[in-house]
Amino acid sequence: MLVLSLLLSGFSASAYAAVVVRQDACTLSASGGDDAPAFLEATAACATVTIPAGTTLNISSPLGMTGLNGVTINLQGTVKFNDDVAYWSDNAFRYDFQDQYSFWELGGTDVVLTGGGTLDGNGQAWYDAFDEDSTTPRPIILVITGGAGIRVENIAMIDSPEWFNLITDSSDVTFDNLTITASENSHNTDGWNVYRSDTVSILNSVIINGDDCVAFKPNATNVLVSNLDCTGSHGISVGSLGQYAGLYDIVENVTAIDIVMKDAQNGARIKAWAGSDVGSGIVRNITFTNFTMENVDNPIVIDQCYFSEDVCDEYPSNTYIENIYFNGVTGTASGSTVASLMCSPDNRCSNINVNDVTLQAGDGGDAKFECQNVVVAGNSATLFGECAST
């Protein structure tokens, strides 16, 4: 009766579709083939989509879930991505940023991904196909894009072919209580990259991976990273920034607090390019507080001559670094250098502060604090010898 009266009064098919009552809850089951179409349909039609414990969805085509509004994905089981390397290189979502691509785009407003289950990136085929030095991109498991009010919580992510998460062109995004694990032979498996996004929180998570634990890429602003346990990573890193000529990169208002870094290449790090044909930018108001280092190669790093040491004197970085705080950094390095604050000439770093830094050299010898072209302030400044402010 309802349908008939709508049609008679001249509603178009799309207007009719809009009045169909959305279902409250849907439950997915495995079909034996590609489950992506059913998963997509469910998120379009239902407010809560449950993948029950014991169910493994086979994702063999891209999951485009942008523009959702008020959807909870209750992932109790597993979402596992097909490991057809050639298929994904032609069929995934593409990004200009570092030529990246992904299996899954999630965006919209008021979207929650939760439930205690697992996202399995099934990355071994990529680890086998590309060696450690390969720069060929591989799929990212999850990209939050066009999100404004997104929560990802209480799930595990394993074996991403490349980065686990990218947050781009979004605001108000929270990750809470994730367990991220990449196999030892994985590479480039960053935990999170935050790019062109504002108000992002990454909280209470455990990460075992083979690249940055969290990286703040161009135009990451107002980001909080709190209570992370990172093992095997390349650190909590700002950048690299200022790499591409003509672009202006901003990273501002970042707090990283209560972080444990184990067996990592870096702890708290900021890296920016110098050189004749590079970009520019600003890194401002970055605070690293309460970092505990265990066997970390470079616990504290500013490198404003990133991959450009030879030309840095002639062409200093155009990415300025100011109002930086390293507060309460303790533990051990793997070698003798425990902190390295290396800036470009010409006052490109300003207001750099170190407080309550107690770092030991891993070899039992004297800890080395290196610096260049920087005036260091704070109650641990004297560790940096002639760079200390007077």
Residues marked active site are found at 234
Rounded alpha-carbon distances, angstroms, from residue 100 to 28, 92, 161, 188, 250: 29, 10, 12, 12, 20
Choice between 171 and 372, CB closer to ligand NAG? 171
- Choosing from 89, 201, 222, 350, the residue that interacts with ligand NAG (CB under 6 A) is 222
Q: Residue 250 Cβ, how far from ligand NAG at the closest point, in Å?
A: 5
State the Cα torsion 52-56-61-65 to the nearest 10°: 30
Helix (H), strand (E) at residue 2: helix 2-8
Would you say 274 and 311 are in contact if contact means Cβ atoms under 8 Å apart? yes
Q: Residue 31 Cβ, how far from ligand NAG at the closest point, in Å?
A: 8
45 phi, psi to nearest 5 deg: -105, -20
- Choosing from 48, 253, 330, 336, the residue that interacts with ligand NAG (CB under 6 A) is 253
Peptide bond into 240 cis (omega under 30): yes
Choice between 82 and 91, CB closer to ligand NAG? 82
Q: Residue 24 Cβ, how far from ligand NAG at the closest point, in Å?
A: 24
Q: Which stretch binds ligand NAG (CB under 6 A): 14-22, 44-52, 150-158, 372-380?
A: 150-158
Choice between 196 and 368, CB closer to ligand NAG? 196
280 lies in the binding site for ligand NAG (CB under 6 A): no
109 lies in the binding site for ligand NAG (CB under 6 A): no
- Choosing from 48, 58, 360, 372, the residue that interacts with ligand NAG (CB under 6 A) is 58
154 lies in the binding site for ligand NAG (CB under 6 A): yes
34 lies in the binding site for ligand NAG (CB under 6 A): yes
Residue 361 buriedness (CB in 10 A; 0-12 / 13-18 / 19+): middle
Instruction: Report the distance separating Cα 180 and Cα 207, nearest Å.
Output: 5
3-state secondary structure of 23: strand
Q: Which stretch binds ligand NAG (CB under 6 A): 131-139, 152-160, 183-191, 355-363?
A: 152-160
250 lies in the binding site for ligand NAG (CB under 6 A): yes
- Choosing from 27, 285, 295, 336, the residue that interacts with ligand NAG (CB under 6 A) is 285
| String of DSSP letters for 176-220 | EEEEEE--TT--S--SEEEESEEEEEEEEEEEE-SS-SEEE-TTE
Q: Residue 10 Cβ, how far from ligand NAG at the closest point, in Å?
A: 42
206 lies in the binding site for ligand NAG (CB under 6 A): no
Residue with tokens 């030309």: 311
Choice between 137 and 342, CB closer to ligand NAG? 137
Choice between 66 and 179, CB closer to ligand NAG? 179
Between β-strands 101-114 and 139-158, what pairing exists: parallel, antiparallel or unpaired? Answer: parallel
- Choosing from 26, 85, 248, 389, the residue that interacts with ligand NAG (CB under 6 A) is 248
Q: Residue 90 Cβ, how far from ligand NAG at the closest point, in Å?
A: 15
Strand partners, 349: 321
Helix %, strand %, coil % for the chain, to 5?
15, 55, 35
CB atoms within 10 A of CB 84: 12
Instruction: Report the distance separating Cα 188 and Cα 194, nearest Å.
Output: 15
Q: Which stretch binds ligand NAG (CB under 6 A): 19-27, 246-254, 304-312, 365-373?
A: 246-254
For ligand NAG, the binding residues (CB under 6 A) are 33-34, 58, 60, 82, 116, 154-156, 177, 179, 196, 218-219, 221-222, 227, 247-248, 250, 252-255, 258-260, 285, 290, 292
